[in-house]
Amino acid sequence: MISLKLDFEKPNIGFWAKRIIAESRLYLTNHVINRVPSHQFRLFCYRHLLNFEIGQNSFIFMDTWFDAGNRFVMADHSVINQKCRLDTRGGITIGKNVSISAEVCILTADHDLQCENFTGRNRPVVIEDYVFVGTRAMILPGVTLKKGCAVAAGAVVTRDVEPFTIVAGSPAKPIGSRSSTLNYTIHYDRLFA
């Protein structure tokens, strides 16, 4: 049974005001702003309402969902396609020329299943330069996708992926490798994406 104790004598107005503002920003960005068909407007809101660091010529397509403000950095010439879920509570860092396909889920928070208190944990996800993540892949907390690696569609990545390695499956395992001389610039300049 869960008990709820409220202290009506000393209301913590500052705490609740901050929480209401933070939750309102997330609601606004996840239910209104992410559906506006103007890429520049969405980026402006993400940078100024959620305090995200987003590089030049990077794109976040419509219907992308964020779990928290702050703790999100995306370098130049990277793209996040439509309907992705990005759990930014533990922090997500995305390098240059990264392509994240539609409906990818990146998680940074979970619970310790072995802890008697089911303690919550936050562990950052790092995605280095030239990484490709296929449609509906899932990246779990604490994972680093190293330079040039590729994650196949539908893969569940539970561990770090070595540079230029291609992984697939659940859990993801190496199935091949990419060229170690990658040298391209991603630019998805779609008007209504």
- Among the options 31, 48, 111, 187, which is catalytic? 111
CB atoms within 10 A of CB 45: 19
**Among residues 114, 51, 117, 41, which one has the least CA distance to residue 88?**
51
- Provide the pairing of β-strand 150-151 with 132-133: parallel
Active site includes 31? no
179 vs 70: CA distance, rounded Å:
34
Tell me which residues are annotated as active site.
111
